[in-house]
């Protein structure tokens, strides 16, 4: 037989695209359209319905960037269409086919009822099936003219990412607003051909099934009347029916499909636009659920549900009904799909707490899995936190984006730093926006790593990132692929059902231990430094406000614990931990608003804390320590006077000088406090740091605090990525404008270094040594005006460290300092929270920070045989896409070098730097709310129980990485104690002896205690 593949494939493609698709709508009549441009921000429906509308013609430009245009559409169904399936078809002038980053609209009835959204891949609104001839149709359509930020494939910066710079030139040209008859035979023929053609092209060249489909399609095309597509569609479908009816192989891979619509809570659009995106997508989804009884939709992010509840009550009611029917599956159990690395441990706990509680309260559903398809790597505390929140499974997709190493599993047990394991799955379809194309189905089978041991995977289907969700076309594909020879089999089912089957099928799945590091998007640890600083500050201010509010509630009879305010502030911080806000990968508008929100949060938390402290009475000046450890350090009063104080952990003490330690001396450029001696070179770097406690040991192998400015242009995704070649081109900032003494107080000595460089940038650093402390602080003020640059601060230390340790949520991880394998080499930029530690037996050094997350650790062997291990903090970047002004302007932060540090020291000083002592006029309290004994037992949170019972909730963890035993004692009469889950639900009774709670922790274990107060009902 002659090879006619090319002829047939090209014939089918042309007839399908040029004749069949255009015939899906058999007849149409135009709407009469009027328009009203809303001024400024979006307006409520009531205001839009009362606005003055003007006639509007098709092919007219409309829509300034970030604008809202309301269209009134009026039409009448022709009498001769009675009994047919009639739909409205609206094309706003869509560009490309991505629903999420361009024009979108929500169609309302004139009474305000939202019907359905329209976007490039979902342009219809059903009228009736069958239609009533002569029916009047009247819509109000809210159309958003969001700019296409992805235009030109992120090739260059654009001013469109902020309403302040985007201009007002119309972006779109309205193409179509019609009433039309859907020819269901042609519609289904279109899907038949799509599925068969795509399957054919994925099958092997010598696969008989490929040739069977090819010839069936060729014969079917012979039956297609080019002058009467609609009239011949049934015959063509009948010809194709036999090849569509052949069942899949018995061993065919099973794809569990679940509807999905990934909606970034902010990214290439601001939060205000996401609120509208949720209404559009959720309207589409509930409409689709009415049409397809077998449809199931999985949706995460409690925050987005809350937006719909508050702003679109009718859509909210439809969601509630879909949940009851089992077609809508709340999943994820987090407030938002947060970044997986940067939020602090308590913040991750609160993400789970607030998310789970929302779904329980509003739907009676307790979610059972963590749904994080798109975050940029996942810290190794997640398994324990997920289990403590009552979850059984974990899902992500993003690790499939690895730049270097292919992750070896798709279904596995993920083991966290404490030993907790959770059943985990990566969909081998390698997308969370599946549409059941032939290529996707083939990829899922080809890619699946568990062949021979398991045969089942998950595919979240539906258009996403900017929303959109599943469409009827995707559902029709799924139906055809349910049992089709040559393809994997598709089953629509709830994610819980998939995970139950997958675990039963593969109970002895392999184990992956430690973090899920994404070998891509490493710059998200640094980009948009002010956003990251706002998060870090907010987390610690929330901790402090809760602690002192609890203290005041226990000791001040007239004080009312601010439950509602703290809940609201936590949710604001949790929202901004979304995986395109906190990582710094959003447009300028998003980060401008984030910085303003963090400022408001800080102001309100300061007021709450001040109120709580004041409620304890005024009886002199006291110092408050919100950290978990006792501290003896130098503080400054409001008048700027330095004092040395001793304050218990989570408690307070009078502002009276304690026994003064050895004073600080400043001699030239040398700072000495009897513990360390720091020499600052003429160029402002550190030429020497000697640890006097260790016999004068020199800490540095080379000049320390070396500021290095790298050229930074990644191959793609500017705000997300830093590629390894950034290291190859750099400038060391060694020219100092000035190096001068800043303080010579006996309790505090400092030297100030000022540098100017680049395009008008300036750095002022104050290097400070305080009495009684080996910590060296670098208070940094940067006026940053660089572009496509990356600034790091390096500390080359004379230590042979086989690994570094970096703090993560509720613990730390160790990473090799060598690059023996490609996995280690790929970790050339990593994340950590408050500290990084390196050490050799008997000696260690920590680098501590108050707001940055990215760093790298490397080592070299010197000619003298010694080893230099270098820790470099990533301070600030200057990407131009998607925000051309990213990081420009003022930055203020502090980092520190801690010589002679153990892991315990790093933990303690990490808290100390991030929770500065507070000096205030207050009577204080006789003792802390809680205190603990036992090395490694660390208090992370102290608060009143969320149920307003008056119980005190304390979250502890083991912070060293070893076993710990201790006793927790209370500053109030204790009536009993329970161990609870994260949601403060009892798990077991805690052991109480002699008025204290006995605590025994495994390495990195998290423990939540609920403490009942005597005399409180």
Residues 6+ apart with CB under 8 A from 913: 775, 777, 834, 848, 849, 850, 894, 896
Question: Count of alpha carbons within 13 Å of 223, Cβ hemisphere only?
Answer: 18
Among candidate residues 95, 121, 138, 922, the one with its CA nearest the CA of residue 559: 922
Length of the chain: 1017
Taking the C-alpha atoms of residue 163 and residue 909, their distance in angstroms, rounded to an integer, is 42
- CA 143, chain centre distance (Å): 28
CB 319 within 8 A of CB 359: no
Taking the C-alpha atoms of residue 127 and residue 83, their distance in angstroms, rounded to an integer, is 12
Q: Is 94 helix (H, G, I), strand (E, B) or coil?
A: coil
Q: What is the largest CA-CA distance in the chain?
A: 101
Among candidate residues 803, 823, 806, 822, the one with its CA nearest the CA of residue 867: 803
Structure tokens at 197: 């053609």
Residues forming a β-bridge with 867? 861
Structure tokens at 938: 């660390």
Question: What stretch of H or E contains 283?
Answer: helix 271-291
Taking the C-alpha atoms of residue 64 and residue 169, their distance in angstroms, rounded to an integer, is 5
CB 357 within 8 A of CB 345: no
Structure tokens at 214: 């090819």
- What is the DSSP secondary structure assignment for residue 313, as one 8-state letter? H
Residues forming a β-bridge with 28? 180
Taking the C-alpha atoms of residue 168 and residue 357, their distance in angstroms, rounded to an integer, is 43
CB 29 within 8 A of CB 83: no
Per 3-state DSSP, the chain is made up of helix, strand and coil in percentages (nearest 5) of: 30, 35, 40
Residues forming a β-bridge with 702? none
- What is the DSSP secondary structure assignment for residue 338, as one 8-state letter? B
Catalytic residue among 148, 162, 178, 374: 374
836 to 804, 813, 815, 826: CA distances (angstroms)? 7, 10, 11, 19
- The vertex-337 CA angle with 333 and 342, nearest 5°, equals 115
CB neighbourhood size of 730 (10 A): 16
- What is the DSSP secondary structure assignment for residue 359, as one 8-state letter? H
CA torsion angle 565 569 571 577 (round to 10): -170
- What is the DSSP secondary structure assignment for residue 448, as one 8-state letter? -
Taking the C-alpha atoms of residue 197 and residue 193, their distance in angstroms, rounded to an integer, is 6
Residue 404 has φ and ψ, to the nearest 5°, of: -115, -55
Strand order in 918-921's β-sheet? 652-654, 621-624, 918-921
* DSSP code per residue over 664-676: PEEETTEEE-SSE
- CA 468, chain centre distance (Å): 20
CB 908 within 8 A of CB 629: yes
* Tokens 């159990």 found at: 333
- What is the DSSP secondary structure assignment for residue 18, as one 8-state letter? I
Strand order in 937-944's β-sheet? 937-944, 952-958, 1006-1013, 974-980, 986-989
Q: Is 946 a catalytic residue?
A: no
- The vertex-593 CA angle with 284 and 331, nearest 5°, equals 40
Among candidate residues 702, 1007, 651, the one with its CA nearest the CA of residue 862: 702
Q: Active-site residue numbers?
A: 374
């Amino acid at each position: 037989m002659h090879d006619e593949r090319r002829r047939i494939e090209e014939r089918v493609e042309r007839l399908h695209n040029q004749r069949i698709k255009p015939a899906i709508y058999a007849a149409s009549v135009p709407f009469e359209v009027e328009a009203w441009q809303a001024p400024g921000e979006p307006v409520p429906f009531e205001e839009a319905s009362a606005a003055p509308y003007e006639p509007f013609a098709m092919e007219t430009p409309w829509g300034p960037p970030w604008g809202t245009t309301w269209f009134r559409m009026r039409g009448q169904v022709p009498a001769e269409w009675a009994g047919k399936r009639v739909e409205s078809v609206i094309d706003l002038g869509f560009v490309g086919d991505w629903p999420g980053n361009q024009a979108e609209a929500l169609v309302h009835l004139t009474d305000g009822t939202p019907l359905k959204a329209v976007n490039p891949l979902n342009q219809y609104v059903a009228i009736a099936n069958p239609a009533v001839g002569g029916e009047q149709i009247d819509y109000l359509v809210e159309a958003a003219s969001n700019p296409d930020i992805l235009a030109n494939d992120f090739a260059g910066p654009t001013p469109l990412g902020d309403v302040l710079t985007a201009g007002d030139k119309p972006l779109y040209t309205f193409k179509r607003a019609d009433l039309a008859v859907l020819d269901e035979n042609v519609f289904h023929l279109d899907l038949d051909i799509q599925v068969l053609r795509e399957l054919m092209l994925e099958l092997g060249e010598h696969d008989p099934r490929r040739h069977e489909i090819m010839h069936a399609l060729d014969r079917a095309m012979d039956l297609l009347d080019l002058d009467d597509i609609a009239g011949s569609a049934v015959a063509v479908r009948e010809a194709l029916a036999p090849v569509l009816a052949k069942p899949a192989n018995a061993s065919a891979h099973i794809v569990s499909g679940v509807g999905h619509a990934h909606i970034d809570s902010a990214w290439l659009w601001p939060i205000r636009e996401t609120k509208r995106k949720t209404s559009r997508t959720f309207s589409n989804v509930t409409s689709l659920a009415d049409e397809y009884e077998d449809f199931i939709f999985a949706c995460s992010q409690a925050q987005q549900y809350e937006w719909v509840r508050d702003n679109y009550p009718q859509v909210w009611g439809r969601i509630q009904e879909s949940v009851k029917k089992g077609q809508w599956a709340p999943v994820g159990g987090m407030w938002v799909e947060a970044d997986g690395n940067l939020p602090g441990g308590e913040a991750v706990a609160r993400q789970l707490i607030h998310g789970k509680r929302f779904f329980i309260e509003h739907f009676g559903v307790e979610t059972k899995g963590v749904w994080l398809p798109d975050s940029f790597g996942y810290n190794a505390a997640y398994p324990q936190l997920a289990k403590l929140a009552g979850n059984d499974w974990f899902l992500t997709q993003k690790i499939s984006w690895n730049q270097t190493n292919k992750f070896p599993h798709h279904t596995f047990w993920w083991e966290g730093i404490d030993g907790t394991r959770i059943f985990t799955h990566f969909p081998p379809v390698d997308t969370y926006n599946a549409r059941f194309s032939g290529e996707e189905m083939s990829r899922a089978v080809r890619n699946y790593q568990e062949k021979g041991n398991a045969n089942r995977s998950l595919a979240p289907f539906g258009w996403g990132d900017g929303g959109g969700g599943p469409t009827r076309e995707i559902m029709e594909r799924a139906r055809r692929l349910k049992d089709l020879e040559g393809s994997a089999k598709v089953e629509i089912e709830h994610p819980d059902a998939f995970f139950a089957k997958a675990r039963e099928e593969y109970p002895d799945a392999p184990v992956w231990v430690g973090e899920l590091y994404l070998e891509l998007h490493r710059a998200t640890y640094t980009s948009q430094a002010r956003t990251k600083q706002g998060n870090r500050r907010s987390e610690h201010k929330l901790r402090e406000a809760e602690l002192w509010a609890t203290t005041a509630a226990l000791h001040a009879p007239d004080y009312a614990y601010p439950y509602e305010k703290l809940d609201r502030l936590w949710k604001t911080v949790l929202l901004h931990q979304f995986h395109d806000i906190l990582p710094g990968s959003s447009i300028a508008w998003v980060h401008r608003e984030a910085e303003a929100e963090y400022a408001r949060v800080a102001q309100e938390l300061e007021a709450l804390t001040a109120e709580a402290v004041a409620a304890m009475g005024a009886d002199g000046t006291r110092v408050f320590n919100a950290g978990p450890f006792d501290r003896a350090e130098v503080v400054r009063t409001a008048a700027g006077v330095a004092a040395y104080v001793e304050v218990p952990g989570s408690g307070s003490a009078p502002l009276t000088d304690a026994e003064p330690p050895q004073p600080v001396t400043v001699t030239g450029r040398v700072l000495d406090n009897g513990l360390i001696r720091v020499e600052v070179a003429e160029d402002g770097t550190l030429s020497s740091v000697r640890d006097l406690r260790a016999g004068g040991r020199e800490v540095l192998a080379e000049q320390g605090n070396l500021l290095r400015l790298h050229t930074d242009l990644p191959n793609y995704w500017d705000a997300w990525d830093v590629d390894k070649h950034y290291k190859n081109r750099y400038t060391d900032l060694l020219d100092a404008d000035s190096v001068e003494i800043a303080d010579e107080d006996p309790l505090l000595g400092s030297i100030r270094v000022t540098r100017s460089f680049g395009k008008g940038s300036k750095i002022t650093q104050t290097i400070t040594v305080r009495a009684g402390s080996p910590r060296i602080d670098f208070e940094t003020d940067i006026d940053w005006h660089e572009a496509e640059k990356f600034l790091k601060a390096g500390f080359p230390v004379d230590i042979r460290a086989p690994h570094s340790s970096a703090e993560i949520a509720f613990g730390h991880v160790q990473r090799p300092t060598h690059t023996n394998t490609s996995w280690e080499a790929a970790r050339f930029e990593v994340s950590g929270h408050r500290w990084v530690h390196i050490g050799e037996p008997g000696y260690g050094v920590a680098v501590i920070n108050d707001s940055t997350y990215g760093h790298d650790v490397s080592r070299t062997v010197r000619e003298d045989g010694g080893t230099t291990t270098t820790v470099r903090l990533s301070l600030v970047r200057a990407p131009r896409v998607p925000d051309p002004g990213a990081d420009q302007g003022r930055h203020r932060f502090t980092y520190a070098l801690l010589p002679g540090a153990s892991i315990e020291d790093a933990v303690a000083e990490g808290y100390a730097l991030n929770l500065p002592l507070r000096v205030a006029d207050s009577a204080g309290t006789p003792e802390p709310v809680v205190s603990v004994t036992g090395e490694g037992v660390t208090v992370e949170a102290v608060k009143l129980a969320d149920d307003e019972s008056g119980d005190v909730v304390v979250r502890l963890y083991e912070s060293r990485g070893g076993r710990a035993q201790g006793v927790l004692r209370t500053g109030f009469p204790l009536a009993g104690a329970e161990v609870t889950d994260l949601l403060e639900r009892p798990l077991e009774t805690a052991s109480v002896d002699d008025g204290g709670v006995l605590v025994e922790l495994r390495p990195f274990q998290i423990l939540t205690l609920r403490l009942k107060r005597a005399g409180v009902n």
